[in-house]
Structure formats: structure tokens, C-alpha cells
Amino acid sequence: MEFPADDILLQVTPQLPISDVWEGLIRPEHLEKWFAPRVHLEPYEGGAFELFWDEENPPKNSTQGCRILLYKDQAEFTFTWKAPPRFAELMNQEGKLTTVNIRVDTCPEGIDVTLEHKGWGAGEDWEAARSWHFHYWNDLLHQFKDYVMTGKISGPPVRQ
């Protein structure tokens, strides 16, 4: 019997006020600097969480149609996720979308930003998708931290 792949759980800790960290996570003008070239985000439950990497072909390489499932201002939000084209057949079908939760909490070192990606299936294809996403989210969270701490990202943008 195969078991679903483990959830992804990652964290970074910028040394900034929570409001600055939250703005970097939720405002499209900031997300467009460190996450995706174009962002459509409506910060409320049921609102859009759409990122576009290929504006010529949004259905192929975007999170078009993804929604915010949970929104607690300056605390956490959860959204549905669509994978890049290489995993689209596996993950981007209705009923198979995974979810990503981002939480922010104060700590002595600054603000903990925790990302948890859930909803993985079982099997080699799901393991490959999870592995790719683990590295993607890890790189992206560090890029986010660089951006909020300095106003720019170090290294090339992380792309799907």
C-alpha cells in the first residue's frame, strides 16, 4: 500500500515588524518583485490567488482559478495551488489541487514565516512533484526574505 507524500513544511525568519512582512506576502506590487511577474490577489476568503508566469498562455503556466480558502489579516492565509506544466496532469485537476498555508508569528529573532504545502497523493509521480515543490518553496522563501530585508532579491528570480 502506498501512502501520500509528506506535507512540505518550511520557515524563514526576517527581522522586521510583522506589518512589513505581511505586506511583502499579500500585496501584488511586492509579490510581483519576488514571486511571479503578474499577480491578481484578492485578500479575503474566496478571493483570487492568481500568479502568472506566462502571460501569453495563462491556462498553461499560472495559478489561474486558485482561491484563498482562509484569510486572517497579519496572521495566516491558505490558498489552492496549481503546479507548473510538468505536473499539470497530475495536480491541476479539479479535486486534486493541493493547498498552501502561510503563517506569520512573532518570535525573539523577528517574524517566523512558515509555509506548509499539503494534499499530496501517493506514488512516484507525486513524490517527484513534492520533491520539485520542496526545492521551489525553499528557494522562494529565501528569495522572499532577501526581498523584504533589502528591497531586492539576490540571484536570479525563482521561476516555475
Per-residue pLDDT, 154: 61
Domain boundaries, the chain: 8-150
Measured CA to CA, the distance from residue 94 to residue 96 in angstroms comes to 6
Per-residue pLDDT, 25: 97
Distance of CA 83 to the CA centre of its chain: 11
The 3-state DSSP class for residue 147 equals helix
Closest CA to 133 of 117, 155, 113, 121: 117
For residue 151, what are the contacts with CB-CB under 8 A and spacing of at least 6? none
Contact between 120 and 6 (Cβ < 8 Å): yes
Per-residue pLDDT, 108: 95
From first to last of the 160 residues of the chain, give the pLDDT tens digit: 688 889 999 999 999 999 999 999 999 999 999 999 999 999 999 999 999 987 777 667 788 899 999 999 999 999 999 999 999 999 998 888 999 999 999 999 999 999 999 999 999 999 999 999 999 999 999 999 999 998 776 655 565 5
Dihedral, CA atoms, 96, 130, 133, 95, nearest 10 degrees?
Answer: 0
Dihedral, CA atoms, 112, 134, 77, 151, nearest 10 degrees?
Answer: 60
Measured CA to CA, the distance from residue 45 to residue 36 in angstroms comes to 21
Per-residue pLDDT, 156: 52
Per-residue pLDDT, 134: 98
Per-residue pLDDT, 4: 84
Per-residue pLDDT, 58: 67
Superfamily of domain 8-150: START domain (3.30.530.20)
Q: E-assigned strands of 13-151?
A: 38-41, 49-52, 68-72, 76-81, 98-107, 110-118
